[in-house]
Amino acid sequence: LIHKLRSKILTDPNSLHHITISLLTPFAAYIPADALGVSGVLSAVAAGLYGGWADPLSMSPQTRMRAWYVWEMFLFWFNGLVFFLLGMQLRAVLGNLHGTMSWPQLFGYAALVGAVTIIARMVWVFPGAYLPRWLSRKIRETEPPLPWQNVFIVSWAGMRGAVTLAAALSIPMLMPDGSAFPGRELVIFLAFGVILITLLLNGLSLPWFIRKMCIRDDGRLDVEEKNARILAARSALLSIEDAAAQMEINDFYIRSILDEYRDRIHALEGNDLTHQSAGARMERYRHLRRAAIRAERETAVQLYRDSIINDDVLRRIQSDIDFEEARLQEK
């Protein structure tokens, strides 16, 4: 429903409007659900999941790129803000708790909850990894074997952070009758304790476990990416060929685009190159492209400083150059 409303509202291609609506979407999902007496958090999560599924096709490339950086910036701010709020409340929380519990009791509770959290994740991850394989023959035939060492690393890498703390801080201070919410300070302290334990214990020991268990990258992500790029390039190639045939176009530009996609497919498939030689050739290509991009940028800036172009033209050129360089760095 929220996505349908967004589609009705956003009929113009202005990316700033789209990004603003995307920032307001969690509130648009949370507030009505909370007013109806259902979970506003789950409503916001559901809206986010559906948006992540639908937005890649409904958003323009410019909007998608800008929105990614905006959300990344907000995520960084919110993570810092949560821990800042904890620092503001922690002293008062500790003061109130120390009047009712001793320090050994508080640290003992924190250690106990931290241990339960770590063990509960392991109890969940191992069955979650192996049960689908035992129950589904298709998964066993299509997925490679899953070593227990890899599953252990996933279960051990359960560091807690801003989400845990935000959940604790979201507990209201007062009950509907105006009395203090029971146990709020203890929940906040335990949440902080779990975060600290998992960051220090799991986080610091995780590299050691990875080395001792000889965990190596199996290259599956690279293979998936390569196959996806090949399929996408082939689809683009067929689309261009069909469009050119229908429009009866066979000029230099069409042939150049077709050759570009054929070369891309040829390089990805590695028909005439080993993996090492393909990587070396790609690195040489990147080196030459960086040199060319650097020359373009320096020339554009010099033209601006010589008052041959104005700042609007410079921004347009720099935007294209920056996009090309960012794309080059992500390859």
Tell me the per-residue pLDDT of 136-153, one tens digit each, with 9 for 90 and over: 888 888 888 888 999 999
Structure-derived torsion over alpha carbons of residues 122, 125, 127, 131, reported in degrees to the nearest 10: -170
User: Among 32-36, 191-195, 206-210, 279-283, which stretch is predicted with the lowest mean pLDDT?
Assistant: 279-283
Two tokens at 158?
A: 């359960």
Residues 152 and 88 in one domain: yes
| Backbone dihedral angles phi then psi of residue 180, each to the nearest 5 degrees | -65, 140
Helices 275-305, 252-269: crossing angle, 10 deg rounding? 140
Residue 36 is assigned to a structural domain of this protein: yes
Burial 202-215 (b: 16+ CB within 10 A, else e): beeeeeeeeeeeee
165 lies in the same domain as 207: yes
Can you give the residue range of the structural domain that contains 212? 82-216
Mean pLDDT of 103-130: 93
Split into its structural domains, the chain has a count of: 4
Q: What is the pTM of this model?
A: 0.65
pLDDT exceeds cutoff 70 at 263: yes
Q: CA neighbours within 13 Å on the CB side: how many for 104?
A: 0
Q: What is the pLDDT of residue 69?
A: 83
Query: Which pLDDT score, from 0 to 100, does residue 272 have?
Result: 47
Q: How far is it, in rounded angstroms, from Cα 289 to Cα 293?
A: 6
In terms of domains, do 266 and 287 share one?
Answer: no
**Nearest 5 degrees, angle CA 316-CA 320-CA 324?**
165
Q: Which residues contact 198 (CB under 8 A, 6 or more apart)?
A: 114, 117, 118, 158, 159, 160
268 & 279 share domain = no
**31 pairs with which residues across the strands?**
none
Same domain, 169 and 251: no
| Mean pLDDT (whole number) for 222-239 | 86
Q: Where is pLDDT greater, at 289 or 62?
A: 289
Mean pLDDT of 289-316: 87
Confidence of residue 277 (pLDDT cuts 50, 70, 90): low
Name the band, by pLDDT with cuts 50, 70 and 90, for residue 284: confident
Closest by CA to 58, choosing from 24, 28, 112, 13, is 13
Q: What letter does residue 174 receive in the DSSP assignment?
A: B
Pair (3, 34) in one structural domain: yes
- Asked if residue 71 belongs to a domain, the reply is no
> Last residue of some domain: 59, 91, 106?
59
Please say whether the beta carbons of 192 and 86 come within 8 A: yes
pLDDT above 70: residue 234? yes
The reply to whether 131 and 182 lie within a common domain is yes
User: Do 98 and 208 fall into the same domain?
Assistant: yes
Closest C-alpha to 89, from 154, 5, 168? 168
DSSP 271: S
Alpha-carbon distance of 233 to 261, in angstroms, equals 6
> Do 115 and 162 belong together in one domain?
yes
User: Rounded mean pLDDT of 237-254?
Assistant: 79
Flag whether 127 is in a domain. Answer: yes
Residues 123 and 202 in one domain: yes
pLDDT in tens, 37-57: 888 878 888 888 887 777 766
Does the pLDDT at position 221 exceed 60? yes
> Pick from 216, 242, 258: which residue ends a domain?
216
Residues 138 and 198 in one domain: yes
What is residue 180's three-state secondary structure? strand
Alpha-carbon distance of 168 to 191, in angstroms, equals 7
More confident residue, 116 or 94: 116
Res 273 pLDDT > 50: no
Residue 311 covered by a domain: yes
